[in-house]
Structure 1
């Protein structure tokens, strides 16, 4: 009898609880969803600026390897590594005694030929000589003059001067070393005018024209500016499939020849893609979703994203061009909820 009363009371409680839940659900279903204030973005196909970086190096526009033209010991080299020199400054003096002796001989021969020629011209004016004799002495004078110019040119080879103003970036010889024709002694670079040289892939090189601007970064110098393309290699290297690109840069007081540089090249892809602001995309576990506006209501749409760049995300599937997606106010939206667009 005691158990019977207990089960009767329990059944009554369950019935009352079920009735209360049913009433509560009925009341919630009868309340309409509030209108949400949102901002929207119209999806449109865009051409993404796909870019790539290649390594390069800072180089001088003017760079000369100073070599010897004659043989002889280096008598003097008044410059050091890093020395700043002006155009025409003495870089090295080579001792060459035989050239000095040859110059002295040429000067003597020239003086003698000139005196003979002048004397014979005076005699011809007095009818004391013939035109043939004067012509022969004139030829000897011209030959002596040419020999003197040659000897002076050889003498000038002993004095090596700077062809332009710049800085000694390499020094391969010192005073006392023996110089030979073609032997590199110094490297002179003009650091006032610099360029960045990079090897661009053949696909990107085809899209670069002389006069284009490319972004250049030199991390060691904390340099990041745009430069102007001055030269493009006309052929592609068969091994690396790259073409040389030279970019003129300005305003970098800390730039030095040989520094590592990065050059940003235009991408090869021109296909249009759908880009939306990153605030339009919501993640729920492994799912990616956005809210699309349709008849003033928010519709939940599952999408698949691609690249993220500069605050935008590429939508690969799930959206069409011309649709409006919610980019602000969508955090608490419910599928089918009415919305009002905020300008």
Structure 2
């Protein structure tokens, strides 16, 4: 009996030892055991960088800022045209491609002129025949006049010859007009550039059927561009012809000063917007069809926390500033808003009255900035 009890003793000691070891591991992980060299709870201040000699600082304060709104628009040429034929004819040649520069009078396209040439020849033949009949009728009129003066012809015969001559001359004039019209239409088989410009789109190809009012190519002037946008009616009321506004472009990325060039007289009843066109300055890289934003302050001024753009340090997609705390600088991540020239609005991350570094911030080493 004693030997049997001794053999079963390890069966309960092994689980007890395992449970004890597990409890010790948990206590060490929680920091309950392990000595007095543990980090106390709370925030540990980062190592602050010292303020560079001659550095410029700024005490942040709220300032008056225009409530600028942005309205998306499209860059369009002031002078543009859709080159289309005036008649039904097969397209036999298109001499230009998109991006080609053309001068006024350059050939754009040629149409099949066989039907036009046949119509012109028929009209010319009809004109010749009508002229011959008019000549014969005039000769008969002159002969009848001589007989009438000699009282060898009756008044009725003379008046009939006179009427026939007038009708023949009218028919000849009508035939001449038809021949001239056919000649003009024959000249319409060649399409010319109406002004100096650049080919925008090529909408048809040789072999297609040219139809009236169906463009073959588009043409525009690349050096006379405007931004066309639709502005809310309550904002458009403050716009006047000739006033200057800001235009923001993505490509090239810049803000331009434009002049209001045209204001639509009516308001769209569905969108409650009014069309505005502003003349853009000549800037390299701006092209027709690209998007832009018309920036306009149409509401009352607001108080905003503004700082210089030079004070912002980029960390990838994040923005931060160097804040003076005591005698050192720490990094503070911020969320920026609208930009007003050389100043930018801070939406969060800074408080009014704090002091920031506004020059040389980007050259300082990182200091493990804290989130606001």
- TM-score, normalised on structure 1? 0.62
Which of 110, 114, 128 is the matching residue for 1:93?
Answer: 110
Instruction: Within 5 Å, give how 1:79-158 maps onto structure 2.
Output: 79-118=96-135, 120-121=137-138, 127=145, 130-158=161-189
User: Out of 261, 277, 295, which is 2:292 matched to?
Assistant: 261
Q: Distance in 2 between matches of 1:72 and 1:136?
A: 35
Measured against aligned partners, the alpha-carbon deviations of 1:34-87 in whole angstroms (never above 9, x if no partner) come to xxxxxxxxx9xx974221222211100111122233223211111111111122
1:247 Cα deviation from its structure 2 partner: 0.4
**d(CA) in 2 for partners of 1:175 and 1:80?**
12
Counterpart for residue 169 of structure 1: 200
Match of 2:28 in 1: none
Select the residue among 19, 40, 52 that pairs with 2:69: 52
Give the 3 Å change call, closer, same or farther, for CA 205–96 of structure 1 in structure 2. Answer: same
Of 204, 218, 226, the match for 2:249: 218
Deviation larger for 135-144 or 145-154: 145-154
SS at 1:184's partner residue?
Answer: coil
Structure 2 residue ranges without an equivalent (≥5): 1-60, 147-157, 309-322, 326-337, 347-352, 356-372
Q: Per the alignment, in what secondary structure is the counterpart of residue 111 of structure 1? A: helix
| Contact 1:168 1:188 survives alignment (8 Å) | yes
SS at match of 1:79: coil
Hey, what does 1:75 align to over in structure 2? 92
The answer as to whether partners of 1:207 and 1:266 remain within 8 angstroms in 2 is: no
**TM superposition shift of 1:258:** 0.7
Aligned position for 1:189: 220
For residues 107-163 of structure 1, give each alpha carbon's deviation from its aligned partner in whole angstroms, at most 9, with x where no partner exists.
111123234435654665675684333312210111102211321233233222222
SS at match of 2:251: helix
Report the secondary structure of 1:150's partner residue: helix
Between the aligned partners of 2:291 and 2:344, the Cα distance in structure 1 is 31
1:230 to 261, 271, 276: 261
Find the partner of 1:249 among 256, 280, 287.
280
Deviations 1:172-204 (A, max 9, x none): 111122223332211111112111111212221
CA contact (8 A) 1:73 1:94 kept: yes
| Distance (whole Å) between structure 2 residues aligned to residue 147 and residue 308 of structure 1 | 67
CA 1:227–1:134 in 2, change beyond 3 Å: closer, same or farther?
same
Could you say what the CA RMSD is over the residues aligned between the two structures, in angstroms?
Answer: 3.7
Q: Please report the TM-score for the alignment, with normalisation by the length of structure 2.
A: 0.58
> Residue 275 of structure 1 contacts residue 313 of structure 1 at CA under 8 Å; is this kept in 2?
yes
Secondary structure of the structure 1 residue equivalent to 2:219: strand
Structure 1: which 5+ residue stretches go unaligned? Answer: 1-42, 285-306, 315-325, 329-343
Question: How far apart are residue 253 of structure 1 and its match?
Answer: 3.0
Match status 1:199 vs 2:199 = no
Change (3 A) 1:223 1:123: farther
Corresponding residue pairs, total:
251
Tell me by how many angstroms 1:236 deviates.
2.7
